[in-house]
Structure 1
Amino acid sequence: MRVNRKIGMMVAGAAVTAFTLSACSGNSNGGGGGGSEGGSSDSEVEVFTWWAAGSEKAGLDALVGVFDQQHPDTDFINGAVAGGAGSAAKDLLQSRLQANDPPDTFQAHAGAELLDYINAGQLQDVSSLYDEFDLREAFPADLVDLLTHEGKIYSIPSNIHRANMMWSNASVLEENGIDPEKTYNSLDEWFADMDTLQDAGVTPLSVATAWTQVHLLETILLSDLGSDAYTGLWDGTTDWEGADVTAALEDFEHAMSYTNSDRDGLDWPEATQLVIDGNAAFNVMGDWAIAAFEEQGKTLGTDFNAAPVPGTDGVFDFLADSFTLPVGAPHEAGAEAWLETISSAEGQTAFNAAKGSIPARTDADPADFSEYQQTAIESFAQDTIVSSLAHGAAAPVATLNAITDATSKFTSGASDLAAFQSELASAVGTD
């Protein structure tokens, strides 16, 4: 796997995003039953995720099925909260950790987002589990390096996702004289076709609430700057106030001019649905979106197409869902049982086949996965890997929050481009 080495320290440690208090109600999922009253340290495991609906819940359900088979004496307690990318659950997790009331384990994005929790002493080192579960052999060495922070590892990945994907409705494009299989070498080529669509009264590009706009922003920065300079935004070698960033932000502004007016009231599934229903032509979203198409009977290459965001072919904008072991986890043995399942070949195959992501393990059989997933497995093995901003890999929580606030101000018309660029520089601490 060819990796941009500048991201090594940025993607140190695995990262967190989110979790919920719903597990406190005692609800369970996946046949594990309710939590054992006054149970022993391995009788149950409270698992916090943001996998509450759609393909994400389907993936979780499949994973719980494997967990029940591998650890039948441990009850799974489902703590899941709705909200794209876990945004609705971050405050809940923070409150529980600060109150010394952690869940047994929680879903976490691999990356710099976790550094706040590592520095606060709220996570345990799980390096020994990598040895116990033979994960150093199962996972690519480069991935293990990216998950390592100051010699320690703080989470175990259950999957790999690609953020820089563009989805399109084949019929909408054909009806407007655009080849649905057309590839774009640059944003300018893409914008030209979106001009055609807009002139025809079609919504060219669907987006949703602020985090999806940050997702679009990162892919445009990646397209215009290239992988090295994009990574430089996070390690300090690229000037946020530079002319090349200004040009990329102008392209972001241009892209936003093609989007749906109701965007701030939607989350990613609704934005993706606009493309599925033919009410928009394109959508930029991670490859978890493919399950939304397929579960509605849509066929890749016939009803819809998927390609890297224009200008990013050969680059894999990386994020991974992973799980942690918090300090003070009340059922530590149960948490370790969950970590064993999510890292196992059986668990990763079941989970990723349902969710649309690809396994972190290298011993998975590509034949067990869809056509798109097989291409993603190939791309992850050969493309340059960079870190996703919107999904916790590139920057700490406070930085992402500041970037999100600045982006929301800009796209709502509350600031101009110069102010936006200055606020981004300030958010990253480079102004």
Structure 2
Amino acid sequence: MRRIKLFAGIAAAALALAACGGNAGTDSGDASNEGKAWEGDDSEVVITTWWEAGSEKVGFEALGDVFKQKYPDITFTKAAIAGGGGSQAKQKLAADLAAGSPPDTFQAHAGAELTDYIDADQILDVSGLYDELKLKEAFPATLIDRLTSDGKIYSVPSNIHRANVVWANPAVLKEAGIDPMKQPQNLDEWIADMEKIQAKGKTPLTVGIAWTRLHLFETVLLADLGADGYNGLFDGTTKWDSEGVTKAIKHFEKLLSFTDKALYTEDWEPAMQPVVDGKAAYNVMGDWAVGAFNAQNKKDGEDYIYFPVPGTQGTFDFLADSFTLPKGAAHPGGTRAWLDVISSKEGQIAFNLAKGSIPARSDLTDEERGQFPQYQQSAMESFGKDTIVSSIAHGAALPVKSSNAISDAVAKFVEGGSNAEQFQMELVDATK
């Protein structure tokens, strides 16, 4: 069975400003990928994505503008399916792939999530395109290594995200007597702050639908287990029935007691809104959240602050969006053009400025990096020096079957269908 190498248990290489080996390329050139699978009809490109709201939608539109400038003769079609952190889009995609009618390209999380598509022979090797566009020189070596499966690469990343970020409203913290500049160092300190906020009649923490709760849970695991212990969950050196996981479950249960259950049916952005509006203190979300604040003209450091989930300082919980070349795509030439755009400097800068993530490319100049707001610049610095771990909720750490089973177990626990002991046993079963 093929396995995607994971971003687990490694230290990220510094984002050195290496010289790019050439333009992000529209020249055809020679490629090592036998048969150049992307050659063919380039009249159109149909793109399946779940970027259909908020900063994600704005980012995709920015990519679309770059695409239309570089490839004005190719029809650009967005097949977007919103909601559920991509769960609805993946369900529709699975049906289309099974029926032999794939889109020209589809969004997927880089990492272990791609394993199922590779094993099912549903996506093609695009290693030759990396050679043609000189992407192995543009992307960090650690990223190339983790995108590689049995010597082949099956997707092109458009960005890098950090999952273990707390977004907070400083005015709510001040009202509760909490210094916004003094970050809690561990979960127990954070819980103590939440108790003060609750006593003032404000919601301490918000979460939304199932995937946002899994997102929160993985950061609690990371906080209590540390990077090595967390990484061990995926290579077997840390057991899911260990005392460390038991401790994390207890912390997770306590954190849930501070949330507003009325938001449990909402996606991430409506669940974040009370923090934006000053009705709640905290939300744990990936750094796409910065776009939600900026879109409402909120000022970094004044209207909102951010910091690593307490206990995860010095760790970068990694995920990345990427795009593929499906086997049997009707317009492989159009797919090649799309992969060219999303991997180019122009595309990555335009997209990530809007979305709140950081470029996957490590060859940006100081001037290009300087275009990004304060949060993204801090994330670039963290990615260059922190220990990298892989996100469970966003497909980097585990294959789809296991991550879905964990998500189901989390949902059951949150909704009262299991107690802590039963929940832990279901986690053990989910990862067998």
- Normalised by the length of structure 2, the TM-score is 0.90
Asked whether 1:247 is paired with 2:243, we answer no
Letter in 1 for 2:173: L
Q: State the 1:263 CA deviation.
A: 2.7
Q: State the 1:9 CA deviation.
A: 2.3
**Consecutive unaligned residues in structure 2, runs of 5 or more:** 9-39
Q: Alpha carbon RMSD of aligned pairs, Å?
A: 1.2
- Residue 61 of structure 1 corresponds to 61
Asked whether 1:420 is paired with 2:423, we answer yes
Q: State the 1:66 CA deviation.
A: 0.6
- The separation in 1 between residues aligned to 2:242 and 2:263, in whole angstroms, is 29
**Pairing of 1:239-278 with structure 2 (within 5 A):** 239-278=239-278
- The separation in 1 between residues aligned to 2:7 and 2:126, in whole angstroms, is 16
- The separation in 2 between residues aligned to 1:141 and 1:123, in whole angstroms, is 23
**Consecutive unaligned residues in structure 1, runs of 5 or more:** 1-6, 13-39
Letter in 1 for 2:6: M
1:10 and 1:235 in contact (8 A); partners too: no
Q: Which runs of 4+ in 1 moved over 4 A?
A: none
1:409 to 376, 395, 412: 412
- Residue 22 of structure 2 corresponds to none
1:11 and 1:146 in contact (8 A); partners too: yes
- The separation in 2 between residues aligned to 1:279 and 1:92, in whole angstroms, is 36
Letter in 2 for 1:397: V
Q: What do the CA deviations read for 1:126-181 (whole angstroms, capped 9, x no partner)?
A: 10000000000000011000100111110000000000000000111111111112
- Residue 214 of structure 1 corresponds to 214
Q: Cα distance 1:392–1:80, how it changes in 2: closer, same or farther (>3 A)?
A: same
- The separation in 1 between residues aligned to 2:4 and 2:111, in whole angstroms, is 9
- Residue 5 of structure 2 corresponds to 9
- Residue 400 of structure 2 corresponds to 397
SS class of match (2:280) = coil
- Residue 46 of structure 2 corresponds to 46
Q: Cα distance 1:402–1:312, how it changes in 2: closer, same or farther (>3 A)?
A: same
Letter in 2 for 1:10: L
SS class of match (2:177) = coil
**Pairing of 1:19-418 with structure 2 (within 5 A):** 41-364=41-364, 365-418=368-421
SS class of match (1:101) = coil
Q: State the 1:10 CA deviation.
A: 3.0
Q: Which is further off, 75-84 or 283-292?
A: 75-84
1:8 and 1:146 in contact (8 A); partners too: yes
Q: State the 1:11 CA deviation.
A: 5.0
Higher relative contact order (CA 8 A, sep 6+): 2
- The separation in 2 between residues aligned to 1:98 and 1:236, in whole angstroms, is 32
- The separation in 1 between residues aligned to 2:72 and 2:4, in whole angstroms, is 38
Q: What do the CA deviations read for 1:362-406 (whole angstroms, capped 9, x no partner)?
A: 122211111100000111111111000000001111111111111
Q: What do the CA deviations read for 1:40-63 (whole angstroms, capped 9, x no partner)?
A: 810100011101111001000100
Q: State the 1:84 CA deviation.
A: 3.5
- Residue 18 of structure 1 corresponds to none
- The separation in 1 between residues aligned to 2:62 and 2:263, in whole angstroms, is 32
- The separation in 2 between residues aligned to 1:205 and 1:269, in whole angstroms, is 14
Letter in 2 for 1:375: S
Letter in 1 for 2:153: I
Q: What do the CA deviations read for 1:10-42 (whole angstroms, capped 9, x no partner)?
A: 359xxxxxxxxxxxxxxxxxxxxxxxxxxx810
- The separation in 2 between residues aligned to 1:11 and 1:169, in whole angstroms, is 31
- The separation in 2 between residues aligned to 1:8 and 1:128, in whole angstroms, is 18
Q: What do the CA deviations read for 1:232-273 (whole angstroms, capped 9, x no partner)?
A: 111111011111110111111111111112132111001110
Percentage of pairs with the same residue: 58
- The separation in 2 between residues aligned to 1:343 and 1:392, in whole angstroms, is 20
- The separation in 1 between residues aligned to 2:280 and 2:202, in whole angstroms, is 6
Q: Which is further off, 326-335 or 191-200?
A: 191-200
Q: What do the CA deviations read for 1:283-336 (whole angstroms, capped 9, x no partner)?
A: 000000011001101111101101010011110000001100000010000000
- The separation in 1 between residues aligned to 2:363 and 2:114, in whole angstroms, is 27
- The separation in 2 between residues aligned to 1:85 and 1:147, in whole angstroms, is 21
Letter in 2 for 1:267: D
SS class of match (2:307) = strand
- The separation in 2 between residues aligned to 1:141 and 1:387, in whole angstroms, is 16
- The separation in 1 between residues aligned to 2:130 and 2:235, in whole angstroms, is 28
- Residue 31 of structure 1 corresponds to none
2:111 and 2:395 in contact (8 A); partners too: yes
- The separation in 2 between residues aligned to 1:339 and 1:200, in whole angstroms, is 50
- Residue 4 of structure 1 corresponds to none
Q: Cα distance 1:125–1:135, how it changes in 2: closer, same or farther (>3 A)?
A: same
